[in-house]
Amino acid sequence: MKDIINDIQIAVAEAVKEIYKTDIAPEDFLVNPTKKEHQGDYTLVTFALAKALRQAPPKIAADLGDYLATARPWISDVEVIQGFLNISLGDDYWSSRLGEMKRDPNFWKPAMPKEKVMVEFSSPNTNKPLHLGHIRNILLGWSVSKIFEACGHEVFKVQIVNDRGIAICKSMLAWMKFGKDQTPEQAGRKSDHFVGDWYVRFETEFVKEYTLWQSTDEAKAIFEKRTDRDLDTPAFFKSYKNKYFNTISALGKEARELLLKWEAHDEETIALWKKMNGWVYAGFDETYRQLGVDFDKLYYESETYVLGKGIVEEGLQKGVFYQKNDGSVWVDLTDDGLDHKILLRSDGTSVYMTQDVGTAQVRYDEFGAKRMTYVVADEQNYHFQALFAIMKKLGAPYADGLHHLSYGMVDLPEGKMKSREGTVVDADDLMRTVIDEAGEAAAEREEVDDDIIRMIGMAALKFFIIKVDPRKRMTFDPKASVDMHGQTGPYIQNAYVRIQSILRRAESSDSGYAGYVVNEDEKLLLNMLGQSAGIIENAARDYSPAVIANYAFSLAKEYHRYYHEVQVLKAESEAAKNFRLQLIETIGVVLKNTMDLLGIEMPDRM
RNA sequence: GGCUUCGUAGCUUAAUGGAUAGAGCACCUGACUACGGAUCAGGAGGUUGAAGGUUCGACUCCUUCCGAAGUCACCA
């Protein structure tokens, strides 16, 4: 179904051809909904046409207005204000729009050429449970996937799990030393949190060890030899911590030895590693289930970290990369405004970039998606710029389809959220909190079942996060996130619930609404419903679910207003009642479908 | 220092280069014998960080500056 603006644009283009004998494309000029303070439904902005037609904008508006008002029966009235042509549409046109939406169940979404699209999101580490930052990531990734699906694409949702390295070894070591073969069940702890607890325990023990060491003669000697004389004792030991871990620490040594054993495929170590990661995955699955998301394929760094070496060798042969005397392999990205980037260390081992190059290729081989979106925080902007530049240099057929959906950090009101500062907001805790809050709000009303309370709480949380433009850093206000009034998920759910409540009470009637004169509020609503497909297209183009969140909110707001303005079941005529029932049902369809793109469920009652 | 992103009401934010910058929260007034008040109507609150420039028209584009964040590892 074409939207109204498109209809008008075509009519205008035809009028231009008729009057000025000039060809102009319908999308080369602007048609907007008319501002409330002016007469009319849609406004043609004629300034863009002025150059091509070599006429003054008001003249163009007048000419086109005269022509359209007589030649197009569905245009009932026109008015010229300076360079703006305000166009009013006839009643028949408006009510026929509603019928078209009824007939086409897909009217709300765009029809685009099908493409294969891959979206990578979440991508956690296995040593800690998911937190607020992951939630933003996951909601964005999930929503973008749903949006692409709505556009008609075939979407593959993947995540890459960082399951290797020193971090998980710390958890393993702490568990071996202090865990006494305990299991999550015995500890009564969600299994990913259980593993995270051992990571924290390791850090605690390490800090204890480090603090004790600081009063030894060895430490004092090192402090005296410091190069930066400005550092006082606490500042020096803060900066020395990493060095201490890698050189002197007994715990550090044990952890590094464990990593070496893992790399040597030591049987016992691998078994423990599998056991602990298994606990983590079971915990993650539960969190994902509560968030309402899933994946088509998981990649593990323990498998992918060896990838890419072959491609780098090839690139070296082709002269895309170069080798330094020490044997390390580099790429020169200065043409792209970047620096030189290393791809293979002098000992021949791979770096992060090598792995990403390899993983991209493997995924392309597996899925054949020429578009891949990486949902990763903006601290990695530079990395992805470099990665995409490298893929282009290598001539990968999918290089132009690579996209980094970069999003800003989530701040807490107190300051930056970092796990080491202990202000991390745990994903499971957060979800529990918002659902509890929804339960309390519901208790003041009437009893509602747990599933609906869950939907309401999750809607509050998800909408709060997703309504913000991904690029922007956002401040997470715990109090505002559980708010159910105003610009929130529950507000939109409430609009839907009101619609369903009316529809439940309505007796079916087939008498139709022929001859019904659509009022201004209804025109506005029909207009908004017609925009749905275009909005989704924009959201896909900009990789921005926030666009849809804002649209759904506006539509719900307009509906709430309408609800107070008119009676549906006790409408002034049978035609009015039928028209309005049809209208609000359609609003309900669009609300439910657009909110689904954000991963938000719509209850029938609340 | 180079590069990237962001700066809009007290707070959180919206606005393909189009008409008088639109909302929500908080604050103040009103509207329930209800198609569900998790709602609605109204009030107050803005030099869109600053200054130039381009344009018929700039929150939007360009330049310079100010402020915030990130990044510029043989870390991931």
**Window 409-428 of chain A: CB closer than 7 A to strand B:** 409, 416
pLDDT at A488 over 60: yes
Strand B contact with A519 (CB < 7 A): no
Cα-to-chain-centroid distance, residue A190: 27
In angstroms, the CA A25 to CA A14 distance is: 10
In angstroms, the CA A364 to CA A63 distance is: 54
Residue A173: name the closest of A134, A141, A200 by CA: A200
Give the nucleotide nearest to A498 (CA→C1'). Answer: B36
Residue A134, CA atoms < 13 Å, CB-side half-sphere? 24
The CA–C1' separation of A593 and B71, in angstroms, is 39
| pTM for this model (two decimals) | 0.93
- A32-36, A390-394, A568-572: lowest mean pLDDT where? A32-36
Strand B contact with A473 (CB < 7 A): yes
> Which pLDDT belongs to residue A420?
41
Give the pLDDT band of residue A1 (cuts 50, 70, 90).
Answer: low
Exposure letters A361-399 (e unless 16+ CB within 10 A, then b)? bbbbeebebbbbbbbbebeeeebbebbbbbbebbebebb
Give the pLDDT band of residue A416 (cuts 50, 70, 90).
Answer: very low
Strand B contact with A403 (CB < 7 A): no
Mean pLDDT value across residues A162-166: 90
Residues A103-131 have pLDDT tens digits of 999 999 998 999 999 999 998 999 889 99
List A80's β-bridge partners, or say none. A85
Strand B contact with A29 (CB < 7 A): no
> Which pLDDT belongs to residue A419?
40
Check if the beta carbon of residue A198 is closer than 8 Å to that of residue A221. no
The CA–C1' separation of A45 and B64, in angstroms, is 34
> Which pLDDT belongs to residue A442?
86
Angle between helices A132-150 and A267-291 (to 10 degrees): 60
Strand B contact with A45 (CB < 7 A): yes
pLDDT at A447 over 60: yes
Look up residue A68 and give its amino acid.
L
pLDDT at A60 over 70: yes
The CA–C1' separation of A165 and B16, in angstroms, is 46
pLDDT at A510 over 90: no
- Percent pLDDT > 90 in chain A is 65
Residues A233-274 have pLDDT tens digits of 887 888 788 889 988 999 999 999 999 999 899 999 999 999
With distances taken from each CA to the C1' atom of nucleotide B5, the closest residue turns out to be A471
Give the pLDDT band of residue A27 (cuts 50, 70, 90).
Answer: confident
Mean pLDDT value across residues A144-168: 95
> Which pLDDT belongs to residue A201?
93
> Which pLDDT belongs to residue A418?
43
Mean pLDDT value across residues A507-533: 87
The CA–C1' separation of A410 and B69, in angstroms, is 11
- A8-17, A45-54, A253-262: lowest mean pLDDT where? A45-54
Residue A580: name the closest of A598, A591, A592, A567 by CA: A567
DSSP H or E segment with residue A311 = helix A309-318
Give the pLDDT band of residue A140 (cuts 50, 70, 90).
Answer: very high
The CA–C1' separation of A492 and B34, in angstroms, is 19
Alpha-carbon separation of residue A465 from A232, A417, A525 (angstroms): 42, 15, 26
Average pLDDT, chain A: 90
CA quadruple A538, A407, A305, A333: dihedral positive or negative? positive
Alpha-carbon separation of residue A35 from A276, A319, A534 (angstroms): 60, 59, 19
**Higher model confidence: residue A331 or residue A511?**
A331
Torsion of CA A205, A206, A207, A210, to 10 degrees: 130
Give the pLDDT band of residue A414 (cuts 50, 70, 90).
Answer: low
Mean pLDDT value across residues A177-188: 92
3-state secondary structure of A76: strand
pLDDT at A325 over 80: yes
> Which pLDDT belongs to residue A50?
87
In chain A, which residues fall in CATH 3.30.1360.70?
A: 4-89
> Which pLDDT belongs to residue A417?
43
Check if the beta carbon of residue A296 is closer than 8 Å to that of residue A158. yes
DSSP annotation of A569 reads T
Residues A335-364 have pLDDT tens digits of 888 889 999 998 888 899 999 999 999 999
In angstroms, the CA A145 to CA A160 distance is: 16
Strand B contact with A177 (CB < 7 A): no
Ramachandran region, residue A181 (left: φ > 0; alpha: ψ -120 to 50; beta: rest): left
Strand B contact with A476 (CB < 7 A): no
Structure tokens given for A162? 């960082």
Q: Tokens 């890419």 belong to which residue?
A: A308
3-state secondary structure of A602: coil
Residues A197-221 have pLDDT tens digits of 999 999 999 999 999 999 999 999 9
Give the pLDDT band of residue A421 (cuts 50, 70, 90).
Answer: very low
> Which pLDDT belongs to residue A477?
83
pLDDT at A180 over 90: no
With distances taken from each CA to the C1' atom of nucleotide B57, the closest residue turns out to be A47
User: How would DSSP label each residue in A429-494?
Assistant: HHHHHHHHHHHHHHHTT----HHHHHHHHHHHHHHHHHTS-TTS-EE--HHHHT--SSSSHHHHHH
The CA–C1' separation of A221 and B68, in angstroms, is 40
DSSP H or E segment with residue A43 = strand A42-45
DSSP annotation of A34 reads P
CATH architecture of A4-89: 2-Layer Sandwich (3.30)
ipTM entry: 0.94
Mean pLDDT value across residues A132-160: 95
**Window 323-342 of chain A: CB closer than 7 A to strand B:** 324, 326, 328, 337, 339, 342
Mean pLDDT value across residues A313-326: 91
Give the pLDDT band of residue A145 (cuts 50, 70, 90).
Answer: very high
The CA–C1' separation of A561 and B10, in angstroms, is 28
Strand B contact with A436 (CB < 7 A): no
- Could you say which nucleotides of strand B lie within 7 A of any protein CB atom? 2-7, 11-16, 18-20, 23-26, 35-41, 56-57, 69-76
